[in-house]
Chain A
Amino acid sequence: MPVLLRHTAQALVAVWLTLSALFLLSRSVTDPAAFIQSTLSANTRLDARIDQAALTQQLLRRYGLSAPLFYTSWQPAAGWRWHGTGNQYHQWLGQLLAGNLGISYRQGAPVRGLLGEALRYTLPLTLLATTGSVGLAIGMATSLGYRPRARRLVLLALHGIQSFPLFLVAVGLLLLLANPDTLAWFPAFGLGLEPESGNWGQRAGELLYHLALPVLSLVIVSLPGLVIQLDGAIQQEMTRAYVATARAKGASRRRTMRGHVLRNALLPTIALLTDLLPNLVAGSVVVEVLFALPGMGRLLAEAAATQDYPLLLGAVGLVAVVRLVAQWLTDVAYQLTDPRIRL
């Protein structure tokens, strides 16, 4: 129990440090007025006759960006200065402790709700893609273990596929499989034109149909890395004595692979889990832009490009928390697969 407590306390401190670092970094390196300026220049209704400087000041005050950033600040002329609790960091931390992630500048809505909406679109996409690629990777790597000839060919092909960036794969699939000139098997974008209706099964079917191309492009892109890594580990394990022992004792190839080799080979691959889990919530900018899915990736990218700090920090904070959880899970998984490792 104390171990668990210590781990939790450590994780909480890590979350606080990470979020504080992100908060201070994101706001200190950017010019707060730049966000206002980009909003104003995107505004089609505003004509240029207005007094932009005064408007910018008013808007900065509205968004709480006119206060000093931290308790202290450094100026080359005056040196260190103390600002007291009336600073942006103090207010943000207080709100965060109350469970309030703030209001998005651009959308004027609470960040928590926006994240929830985006996850509703992103999670099905990334969950499908991740389970698909992990399952396929394990299946491929184990079945290739004892087939050197096929293995070489498949690895070669995977390395070739690996060299294509996601954007190209997605565009390629779109132009091949959703194009009236070639094959128009799948819809070109979105999640259906109308609000969801019909029973549960129909809706799931509709969702799968619309997500087919985005998921496929994500799987194609992430599969090679997984298979190559896992295969490398399997080959490494196959040279060990216990494999020969197991085979000598009469275990079938299949059994040796599943029962002994895979278990050990998965260990370095588990490390990739800490990449996979956060990606589940981070979404994929490219796929979401291309297939017009309003998920986390697009939300994050738009927030970053328009400097919508509360939204950016909320979303990045979510990814950070998931990553810390994933890290903890990885460590547990290490101990389960190889009890000799002490942490």
Chain B
Amino acid sequence: MRPQHAKRPFSIRRLLAGGWLLLLAGAAVLAPSETIIPDLAHVSQPPFGVGHWLGTDPQGLDIWQALLQGTRTLALVSVPATLLTLLIGAGLGSAAGFLRNSGWQPTWRSLLTGLLVGLAALAQGPRLTPASGGLLVVTVGSWLLLGRFGFSRRRVALPVDTLVLGLMSLLESVPLLILVLAAAAVQRPSLGGLVLLLSLSCWTTPARLMRAVTLQVSAQPYLEAARAAGIPAARLLAAHIWPNTRHILLVRFPLTVALLIGLETTLSFLGVGLPPEVSSWGQLLATIRLAPTAWWLVAWPGLALVSTILSLHTLGRTK
């Protein structure tokens, strides 16, 4: 029941999609880097006029230039944020689903050492000083000291699943927009901060999906057999689990890019988006509320956005 186009990987649609993405990459490289100078004499000008062939926004910014610069923002902000999101999500999600609550059993020795070091770091307070060298002493000291006790060689099951789920519910209990709004009420996030904030709060959905699929795959009889045969966990993951769970991430990639661009637009709508010098498609889209009749504010960035998401989607399908 495989879809037809799998037999011809270089269909016209895939060519088009690849071409569009290449075009975007080119635009991202070639886009002018200096901040756009607002043309206050031509504010909200419709497209195909003199000087601004795609029109201007209500602030007098040229839409063509803003689109070009938005491409670079896309390449430098949205795509890295998506990759980071998926990476964290896939890692933690499959760890939770595969290890569950008994899959990882470190010795008391390593566990307690880790805990002690953590406590020492906490007691030292939130700063990095020459005294941080003391941490190393604590590490080595407690490792050696604990080695003298018999119990420290026994193993303890670490509830990875519970921990990851707990972390997810803590993060998700604060709706993302609220988190960003609250953060902006304290200090407006910088560009890197925004990327980190977005990835750190968006990874939970892919993680949850990965966990579910991993749970399902590891319950299959052949995996039980492989486990019983003593195949190491790393190989199990690499050879049997990931090939069966990867599709979730591929489906998720264009969705996450779209989600992040959408979020960024919504943030611009709520007044806490990227810095004003950084043009983005989201920012362009958000200006529509200043001039509801200016269709060109939505048309061009919208067209670019839809083409990009569809291209990513087309190329992302491997089946």
* A touches B (Cβ under 8 A): yes
Taking Cβ atoms with an 8 Å cutoff, the residues of A that contact B are 10, 14, 17-18, 21-22, 26, 29-31, 34, 74, 76, 79-80, 148, 152, 155-156, 159-160, 162-168, 171-172, 175, 225, 228-229, 232, 235-236, 238-239, 243, 267-268, 270-272, 274-275, 278-279, 282, 285-286, 300-301, 304-307, 312, 316-317, 319-320, 323-324, 327, 334, 338, 340-343
Pair A163/B212 contact, Cβ less than 8 Å = no
The 5 A-B residue pairs with the shortest CB-CB distance, nearest first, are A320-B173, A165-B262, A163-B309, A304-B181, A304-B182
Pair B219/A148 contact, Cβ less than 8 Å = no
Pair B248/A268 contact, Cβ less than 8 Å = yes
State A305–B282 Cα separation when bound (angstroms).
21
Pair B302/A31 contact, Cβ less than 8 Å = no
Pair B178/A159 contact, Cβ less than 8 Å = no
Q: Chain B interface: which size bin?
A: 35 or more
Nearest B-chain residue to A21, judged by Cβ: B170
With A17-B166, A31-B186: A270-B254 Cβ-Cβ less than 8 Å: no
State A9–B261 Cα separation when bound (angstroms).
40
**24 A-B pairs with C-beta separation under 8 A:** A10-B162, A14-B169, A17-B170, A31-B186, A74-B126, A148-B4, A156-B313, A163-B261, A163-B308, A164-B302, A165-B261, A165-B263, A238-B1, A239-B1, A271-B211, A274-B172, A274-B208, A279-B175, A285-B178, A301-B178, A312-B178, A319-B175, A324-B169, A341-B216
Pair B3/A152 contact, Cβ less than 8 Å = yes
CB 8 Å contact bits of B118-147 with A (1 = contact, 0 = none): 000001011100000000000000000000
Taking Cβ atoms with an 8 Å cutoff, the residues of B that contact A are 1-4, 100, 123, 125-127, 162, 165-166, 169-170, 172-175, 177-178, 181-182, 185-186, 205, 208-209, 211-213, 215-216, 219, 247-248, 251, 254-255, 258, 261-263, 265-266, 269-270, 282, 285-286, 288-289, 292, 298, 302, 305-306, 308-310, 313, 319
Residues of the A chain whose Cβ atoms lie less than 8 Å from the Cβ of B298: 168, 172
Nearest A-chain residue to B265, judged by Cβ: A165
State A226–B167 Cα separation when bound (angstroms).
24
State A319–B248 Cα separation when bound (angstroms).
27
Pair B209/A271 contact, Cβ less than 8 Å = yes
A contacts with B: majority SS: helix
Pair A228/B169 contact, Cβ less than 8 Å = no
Residues of the B chain whose Cβ atoms lie less than 8 Å from the Cβ of A148: 3-4
Residues of the A chain whose Cβ atoms lie less than 8 Å from the Cβ of B173: 18, 22, 278, 316-317, 319-320, 323
B contacts with A: majority SS: helix
Contact of B208 among A159, A236, A238, A271 (CB under 8 A): A271
Pair B181/A160 contact, Cβ less than 8 Å = no
Nearest A-chain residue to B187, judged by Cβ: A29
Contact of B262 among A163, A238, A301 (CB under 8 A): A163
Pair A160/B309 contact, Cβ less than 8 Å = yes
Contact of B266 among A163, A286, A340 (CB under 8 A): A286
Residues of the A chain whose Cβ atoms lie less than 8 Å from the Cβ of B170: 17-18, 21-22, 320
Pair A236/B209 contact, Cβ less than 8 Å = no
Pair A300/B175 contact, Cβ less than 8 Å = yes
With A26-B182, A74-B125: A285-B270 Cβ-Cβ less than 8 Å: yes
Q: Can you add 6 more A-B contacts, CB < 8 Å, to A22-B170, A327-B169?
A: A74-B126, A166-B266, A236-B247, A271-B211, A274-B208, A312-B178
Residues of the B chain whose Cβ atoms lie less than 8 Å from the Cβ of A307: 182, 185
Nearest B-chain residue to A229, judged by Cβ: B251
Pair B310/A159 contact, Cβ less than 8 Å = yes
With A148-B3, A285-B177, A319-B173: A235-B319 Cβ-Cβ less than 8 Å: yes
